[in-house]
């Protein structure tokens, strides 16, 4: 596609022409997907990142002042989308690893670890709520955020803090024995 043709398509898409935007999507889909695979080998992250980038572009195309910048804007958006999803995946892996640690504590046969309920009761109320909803009610983090009416990041940080406090409490009790 020539630069002039791309500029006309971008201008048309900015004016609400969905066919022009669809054409741009089809034209760049393979290229941005290949680019995303250069950043991450995870097919799910690549797929989600490319989709997120197209949605972001569709919602913000009116903000693009220079149609000549469309291609670089598209690739930059894909890059940041991949990075965001990789960071989220890393946090999720850390959460899963911490879940295993907490489950080890809960299922431990050691006498000092059996009374996890009393350890949980020592936590601040906001941490107790997150632990209860996550482990006992088996809610997803997004559901907990809705229930507590707080951002997802707040739920993640509270859960992380509560797990660390529980682990520290168990270690302190083990030191006493």
Question: 3-87 sits in which CATH class?
Answer: mainly alpha
Query: Which pTM does this prediction carry?
Result: 0.54
Instruction: Tell me the domain boundaries of the chain.
Output: 3-87, 108-176
Structure tokens, 173: 């009790």
- pLDDT tens-digit map of 90-139: 776 666 555 555 655 544 544 444 467 778 888 888 888 888 788 877 77
Q: How far is CA 54 from the centre of its chain?
A: 17
Domains 3-87 and 108-176 agree in fold: no
What CA–CA distance (Å, rounded) separates 43 from 35? 12
**Lowest pLDDT segment from 5-9, 21-25, 126-130, 135-139:** 135-139
Question: Which ranges of the chain does DSSP label H, i.e. alpha helix?
Answer: 3-14, 18-39, 43-60, 70-107, 111-114, 116-121, 125-131, 141-148, 152-176
- pLDDT tens-digit map of 85-99: 988 877 766 665 555
> Selecting from 1.10.10.10, 3.20.20.70, 3.40.50.1360, 3.40.50.720, what CATH number does the domain 108-176 have?
1.10.10.10
């Amino acid at each position: 596609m020539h630069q002039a043709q791309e500029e006309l398509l971008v201008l048309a898409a900015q004016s609400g022409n969905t066919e022009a935007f669809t054409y741009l999507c089809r034209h760049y889909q393979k290229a941005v997907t290949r680019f995303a695979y250069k950043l991450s080998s995870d097919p799910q992250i690549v797929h989600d990142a490319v989709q997120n980038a197209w949605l972001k572009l569709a919602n913000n195309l009116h903000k693009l002042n220079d149609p000549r910048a469309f291609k670089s804007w598209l690739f930059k958006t894909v890059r940041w989308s991949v990075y965001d999803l990789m960071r989220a995946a890393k946090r999720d892996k850390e959460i899963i690893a911490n879940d295993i640690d907490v489950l080890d504590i809960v299922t431990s046969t050691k006498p000092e670890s059996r009374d996890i309920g009393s350890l949980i009761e020592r936590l601040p109320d906001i941490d107790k709520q997150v632990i209860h909803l996550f482990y006992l009610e088996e809610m997803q983090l997004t559901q907990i955020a809705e229930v507590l009416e707080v951002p997802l990041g707040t739920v993640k940080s509270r859960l992380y803090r509560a797990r660390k406090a529980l682990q520290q409490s168990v270690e302190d009790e083990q030191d006493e024995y």
